[in-house]
Amino acid sequence: MTYIQVTGGKKLHGDIEVQGSKNAVLPILAASVLHNGVTTIHHCPEISDVQCMIRILDSIGCKVKKEGSTVIVDATQLNNYRIPDEFVARMRSSIILLGPLLGRQHFVTISYPGGCTIGARPIDLHVKGLKRLNAEIIEANDLLTCMTTKLLGTEINLDFPSVGATENILLAAVLAEGTTIITNAAKEPEIDELCAFLTCMGAKIDGSGTGTIIVQGATSLHDCEYTVKADRIVTGTYMAAVAATGGKIILRGAVKEHIEEVIEVVNRMGCVTQASSEGITVIQKSRPNAYDLLRTRSYPGFPTDLQSPVMAALTIARGNSILIENIFEARYKVVKELVKMGANIEIDGKIAIIRGVSSLHGASVKAYELRGGAALVIAGMIAKETTDIHSIEYILRGYEDICRDLRMLGATVNYIEE
């Protein structure tokens, strides 16, 4: 069993290249099955979720080749309608294959997805949207069986701007007959990237990045080559890390336009940020300032995925901070682990009250989900003595090599084999 060991007390200095976006590359890999040919995707992060998606593609007949950070998918021999349960249980993002497989072969069976334990994430919006596109969906024995004689374009108004539902409907609409209009669509940068990739393959899409996406159904797509942009959540995690520890770091490849709200938050915590064509520089010269009220919201608001890393930084802030989690009700599982390390945090429903303390202390803690695991690494870097973080398989789902990155910035962070 491997765990992460962190010895705190060092400021961060240096520069690193930010990995490709996890939340963009997974739907892009899923989208590759829409084309009866070859797609080439550059800057894919070396994370377990990408490895899982590659194994799913391989299991349904695709030929997948990985060369460094480039993944080449040949989907000409796609021949399987069933997504293996072992992969679905491991990764919730597997549900994103419903739309493209319905579009390509009009039939798919998948079990209910797994992933991080951050609360209920119902897929009813996915199901409702696909039904509107003329799909029949049977739910029985923990399986979803989806079929159609022909997908038909229509207007779909989402009850909530769900990223996953927007992606699934968009992917199904690409090869549907006629025009599909998705209103109240998610606006996250990952949606914009998916639209850019699909357009590269020959899809006809208008309104990318807005609340209304219009898809003109195509009869076929073509080979394409695409480079994934930097991961905005990894960018924000490392920004929260330097806000907590102090120092100066350069995050090469980071896209300012993707994290405007995050930049505003860390600036209010005392950081100075500078953006350029090369990336983002973050400077923190003192203990972080408290944040009076921070709410997680759908993009372009503050992302729920960065709530835990920022909470870790705020544990040693000067004063009291309030966080309100509006997206996932179980995001606060990390709190009891932070309290073990000396944090003063009170939870009342969706509200977390963080009373800043002068320092944290090392402890043996456990990750319960991806971003909470990253938050514990940040807490370890500001704690006295040594922190051991267990159940790191969650962290490996989204961070290519968090220990390598933080060591390059001067932290003492290592994988330890038990």
Q: Could you give the residue numbers annotated as active site? A: 116
Can you give the C-alpha Rg of the chain in angstroms?
21
Structure tokens at 395: 């962290």
* Sequence-separated contacts (24+) of 204-213 with Cβ below 8 Å: 205/170, 205/174, 210/185, 211/161, 211/183, 211/184, 211/185, 211/187, 212/181, 212/182, 212/183, 212/185, 213/166, 213/170, 213/181, 213/182, 213/185
| Residue 287 to residue 237: CA distance in whole angstroms | 17
Q: Is 53 exposed, middle or buried (0-12, 13-18, 19+ CB in 10 A)?
A: buried
List the 155-157 sheet strands across, edge first.
155-157, 179-183, 212-216, 204-206
71 three-state secondary structure = strand
Across 194-350, where does the E strand assignment appear?
204-206, 212-216, 224-227, 247-252, 272-276, 279-284, 294-295, 320-324, 344-348
Q: What angle (nearest 5°) sits at the alpha carbon of residue 352, between those of residues 350 and 354?
A: 175
Q: Which residues contact 35 (CB under 8 A, 6 or more apart)?
A: 75, 201, 220, 221, 222, 223, 224
| Residue 362 to residue 241: CA distance in whole angstroms | 16
| Residue 101 to residue 171: CA distance in whole angstroms | 9
Evaluate the CA torsion angle 351, 309, 50, 195 in order and state its sign: positive
Other residues' Cβ atoms within 10 Å of the Cβ of residue 391: 15
| Residue 242 to residue 260: CA distance in whole angstroms | 17
| Residue 345 to residue 311: CA distance in whole angstroms | 9
